[in-house]
Chain A
């Protein structure tokens, strides 16, 4: 620690602390325009010039980067310093008369107008004042090194590489964030003609994944975090006192030894943009059921309010059932849950807005306990139910009356007429479909899937939760579309099955094993390489092969191959099969 005297106030700071920080500690304000805590002092505005007195020598230095030493005396507001600051402000005012930060600083330093006429005068209110904050933040913090100064002297300017948008720019917005005049702006552009996809609102790269996350710990999104783009920033690590930020943490594969596995891998939502006629991803205010679920969520992007992209409440909402399900072109099966959540949506929209609500359904399937009653209630609430699958959603053209910017076309099969219903918002009830990686998972566990693509149960009626592989169980939408009560029931059943085996402490295995009769084995070793489980060893002493009972799964491949018929498959011996054959063919 060293002691320095700033404007008569003694203050103790670490050696080499910049004067600016020491003055802050002493409660003394020093003006500056280019300084930021984010990066190394740049020292170009020269407004923080102060007088440093050491012995007999007096020097003018910049406070932002001059390191203090023991015994320094510093004058931050002497007549000379005031004079320097005044002329600097005059120079700045003469060039940027309308920039707010400049005129404010000038006013603070008592400068009203400039004595210098300037040919480089820039009248813009958001003119670039060449403070270099954007360049420094881009180079030192973000480390993308996109922004830089070009040209010399009075022609100096901040530019992008070759004056053009660069794909090396990671669009982090740090430059716009530090720009004191607002010269740098972030603009949302259409991406390749496609409207920006629906997102869950503004999100920083560090966030708690979901509200109910356990443990409730924030995570870093490596795709949007600056550090993972350029190796720069690391601001979070700098501010985290317990030093809990770990950039090296990675997704890792944890191997757990388990005797039984319950597969509840869930489902994917059908991508409604495949059905171009409904305009998903193309038209504004056409949402998937999951998007709409987010809108209705009180912690969602709209805070639970049902509003359109322009912020207004919709005057009418259309809910379209069976998008991708009950559709021979896509999924022939029924997704089961849509009818009921569509009714829930209708109920909530009715609750929160005055919008007219239309449901477009093929068949209303209110199959569960209390569901049909809910459906009746909805009908009483005044929801319009139209029996007929919607044909298409288009932007409403002129000449069609009604409240809505979109138009739903459909055939109402109850009245046998073609109808066009104008709505402001469309909600699509996407089909539930198998997870995209279900094939890979199926192979890992050696189980099958049914023609609809979901996992196949051992028996559709008698054993809907276990599979053909012992110890592998399935539950929920991994097995087929189902609602929450059904999922809970199935999962409970699976858990009970698993627990019963754990409780027993031992496992029954099939007694089907192969066995080599030493007497007949010639030691030809033909079976050795055939065994997929490497369960057959050759005993050198005896010159015969032997089967390991624990490894053997009883497939019988070796039995079939043994030229000496020395191998017998228990339960499936040659004699047994021959007997079966004889029995079968006797009649």
Chain B
């Protein structure tokens, strides 16, 4: 059976979550690998959530926020951007391919973009293969072997 990655998506309530809704209303097909957690703002996404998600077996994490300047809470998405940079550094240290985290600005009107992002991200993760991070840490294998794309 083909590998079906588990992807956690933290979506901001005002833009990306609504965009996802629009994608649904617009009958746009998006991969079933995406498991959505709604937060009020992408700025609510604590880096621990991401690491926890990997720990609990997620193969990829998608953070969706509003376009710069459009944040419902003025500037929450800028903080997210900062945290995403930091997260990628941490992931490198833990031996996780930084491609497994993706930050995207998707507005409420961009149902089609949501579809496109989720589809391509799923494909990326699929090509990276399973992470199985907990197992690997148990074995003392701290480096992920990146699969050539």
On A, residues with C-beta under 8 Å from B are: 443, 446, 448-451, 456, 459-461, 468-469, 512, 530, 532-533, 553-557, 559-561, 569, 572, 574, 577-578, 580-582, 584-585
Per the bound structure, the CA–CA distance linking A580 and B41 in Å amounts to 16
Whether B126 is near chain A, meaning CB under 8 Å from some CB there, is no
Closest to B38 in A: A572
Q: Considering the complex, which residues of chain B in the window 1-32 have a beta carbon less than 8 Å from any beta carbon of chain A? A: 6, 8, 14-15, 18, 21-22, 25
Per the bound structure, the CA–CA distance linking A561 and B21 in Å amounts to 28
Contacts of B15 in A (CB 8 A): 448
User: Can you offer 5 A-B residue contacts whose CB atoms are under 8 A?
Assistant: A448-B70, A451-B110, A461-B25, A468-B108, A572-B40
Contacts of A584 in B (CB 8 A): 6, 8, 35, 37
Closest to A446 in B: B72
Instruction: Please tell me if the beta carbons of A560 and B83 are within 8 angstroms of each other in the complex.
Output: yes
Interface size band for B: 35 or more
Stretch of B52-60, B93-101, B116-124, B137-145 lying at the A interface: B52-60
Closest to B49 in A: A577
Instruction: Please tell me if the beta carbons of A572 and B57 are within 8 angstroms of each other in the complex.
Output: no
Instruction: Please tell me if the beta carbons of B109 and A449 are within 8 angstroms of each other in the complex.
Output: yes
Q: Smallest CB–CB gap between B134 and chain A, Å?
A: 11
- Please pick, from B14, B56, B57, B73, the residue contacting A557 in the complex, using a CB distance under 8 A: B73
Instruction: Please tell me if the beta carbons of A448 and B39 are within 8 angstroms of each other in the complex.
Output: no
Contacts of A581 in B (CB 8 A): 8, 37, 49, 52-53, 56, 58
Q: Smallest CB–CB gap between B6 and chain A, Å?
A: 6
The residue among A456, A459, A560, A584 with the most chain B CB atoms within 10 A of its own CB is A560
Q: Smallest CB–CB gap between B33 and chain A, Å?
A: 11
Total A-B contacts with CB atoms under 8 angstroms apart: 98
Q: Considering the complex, which residues of chain B in the window 62-83 have a beta carbon less than 8 Å from any beta carbon of chain A? A: 69-70, 72-76, 79, 83
Instruction: Please tell me if the beta carbons of B108 and A572 are within 8 angstroms of each other in the complex.
Output: no
Known: A561-B79, A581-B8, A582-B56. A569 touches B40 (CB 8 A): yes
Known: A448-B15, A456-B109, A553-B73. A560 touches B25 (CB 8 A): no
Known: A460-B22, A532-B75, A585-B35. A555 touches B69 (CB 8 A): no
Q: Smallest CB–CB gap between B14 and chain A, Å?
A: 5
Instruction: Please tell me if the beta carbons of A577 and B14 are within 8 angstroms of each other in the complex.
Output: no
Per the bound structure, the CA–CA distance linking A122 and B56 in Å amounts to 105
Per the bound structure, the CA–CA distance linking A577 and B52 in Å amounts to 10
Contacts of A572 in B (CB 8 A): 39-40, 44
Whether B125 is near chain A, meaning CB under 8 Å from some CB there, is no
Q: Smallest CB–CB gap between A526 and chain B, Å?
A: 12
Query: Apart from A559-B46, A585-B8, what 14 extra A-B contacts exist at CB < 8 Å?
Result: A448-B15, A451-B109, A456-B108, A532-B76, A533-B73, A555-B43, A556-B40, A557-B43, A557-B44, A557-B79, A560-B45, A578-B52, A581-B52, A581-B56
Known: A448-B107, A460-B22, A581-B49. A554 touches B40 (CB 8 A): yes
Per the bound structure, the CA–CA distance linking A578 and B40 in Å amounts to 15
Q: Smallest CB–CB gap between B25 and chain A, Å?
A: 6
